[in-house]
Amino acid sequence: MKLATLKNGSRDGRLVVVSRDLKRAVEAPTGLPTLLHAVENWAAAAPRLQAVYQALNEGGGVGAFDFDTRRAAAPLPRAPQWCDGSAFLNHGELMQKAFNLEPLPDIETIPLMYQGGSDDMLGPHDDIRLPDEAHGIDFEGEFGVIVGDVPLGCTAPFATSRILLLVQINDVSLRAFGPREMRTGFGFFQAKPSSSFAPVAVTPDEIGAAWRDARVCLDLGIEYNGRWFGDPNGSEMNFGFDRLISHAAATRRLSAGTIIGSGTVSNAGDKKGSACIAERRAIESIAAGAARTPFMKFGDRVRMEARCDGQPVFGAIDQRIVQAERPQ
């Protein structure tokens, strides 16, 4: 099943069901106005949405219309919680080596995670409005999951049953703030502005065998200013989403609609490129003693799209960096 949120002037948009080929859509049934409402009432909502999805793919669907991703908001424009992991240890190892950082204790057994802002998620074609190029603007290609209610202290096997939907994310980062914020011990804040999402959230069955071991085992193709930047595969997560959810719920309950991110998709070796500029800069520093690739400037574009058997899964993130207007 594929679901999206169309902008309608409200904070949470209007839930629509999208065809498997992402070409057609139909409004969700009466009583299911938003995706957040649907995930909070998933046991009752999912069968109704699935029936609409099946009819739409079979050429039916009362009131169906062409699906325009430029009208799409993030699947969840506002979420109860946004918790982002760093589950690809290859990424962390490259950063550690490039900048002579001390290895973190228990890095191979305890996932890293920070809690980001969840009140203002960006849609797939929304401009990324930021105040200053000097802040070290970077993109980060990730996969994520939307969960149902998760009890405190849940195990990883149980956590798998709470995964409702998969999403594709651009976790925007401002690298200039990172070092100081990490040194404080309080973690990221200004370094993490609003994240962006591909237009469609999908149930795990939509990617078939590519959903295994609680991982999205798909290439995430990334173009930066029209050029290939990387296509790393999500299979190399050192901690699956089951482990990330269990980690997040170790001391708290997670509300339905909480989003858990994988962290920057990263693969060992040099054939799959990178999913963020910081990682490429780290590779350059290790190889040549200095980074060559600059961070993003106003007017730069990034495009991200995952495919399964040659077909788009979530639709594409395609965004431009622009200077934010300061309020008067």
Q: Which two tokens stand for residue 94?
A: 């490259």
3-state SS record for 203-252: CHHHHHHHEECCEECCEEEEEECCEEEECCEHHHCCCCHHHHHHHHCCCC
pLDDT tens digit sequence for 273-326: 999 999 999 999 999 999 999 999 999 999 999 999 999 999 999 999 999 998
Nearest to 146 by CA among 252, 45, 261: 261
Q: How many helices (H) and strands (E) does the chain have?
A: 7, 21
Measured in whole angstroms, the distance separating CA 278 from the mean position of its chain's CA atoms is 17
Selection from 69, 68, 35 nearest residue 49 by Cα: 35
Q: Record the pTM.
A: 0.96
Which segment of 36-50, 96-110, 244-258 scores lowest on mean pLDDT? Answer: 96-110
Q: Within 13 Å, how many C-alpha atoms sit on residue 146's CB side?
A: 30
Chain-wide mean pLDDT for the chain?
95
Structural domains of the chain, ranges and CATH numbers in brackets: 2-71 (no CATH), 82-323 (3.90.850.10)
Count, residues in the chain: 328
239-257 CB burial, b ≥16 within 10 A, e <16: bbbbbbbbbbbeeeebbbb
Helix, strand, coil percentages (3-state) for the chain, rounded to 5, are: 25, 30, 45
Q: What DSSP state is assigned to residue 112?
A: -
Residue 147 tokens, joined: 């969960």
pLDDT for the residue 277: 97
Q: Who contacts 321 (Cβ-Cβ below 8 Å, separation ≥6)? A: 127, 128, 130, 137, 296, 297, 298, 299, 300, 301, 302
- CB count in 10 Å sphere of residue 167: 24
Q: Do the Cβ atoms of 52 and 29 come closer than 8 Å?
A: yes
**CA distances, 191 to each of 43, 176, 194, 256 (Å):** 37, 7, 10, 26
What the block records as the tokens of 181 is 């914020």
Q: Give the model's pLDDT for residue 95.
A: 83
Which pLDDT value is given to residue 178? Answer: 86
Residue 181 has pLDDT above 90, yes or no: no
For residue 255, the model assigns a pLDDT of 98
Section 159-163 average pLDDT: 97
- How many Cβ atoms from other residues are within 10 Å of residue 158's Cβ? 15
Q: CB-based contacts of 293: which residues, under 8 Å, 6+ apart?
A: 277, 280, 281, 284
Exposure string (b/e) for 82-100, b if CB count within 10 Å is 16 or more? bbbbbbbbbbbbbbbebee
pLDDT of 215-268, one tens digit each? 999 999 999 999 999 999 999 999 999 999 999 999 999 999 999 999 999 999
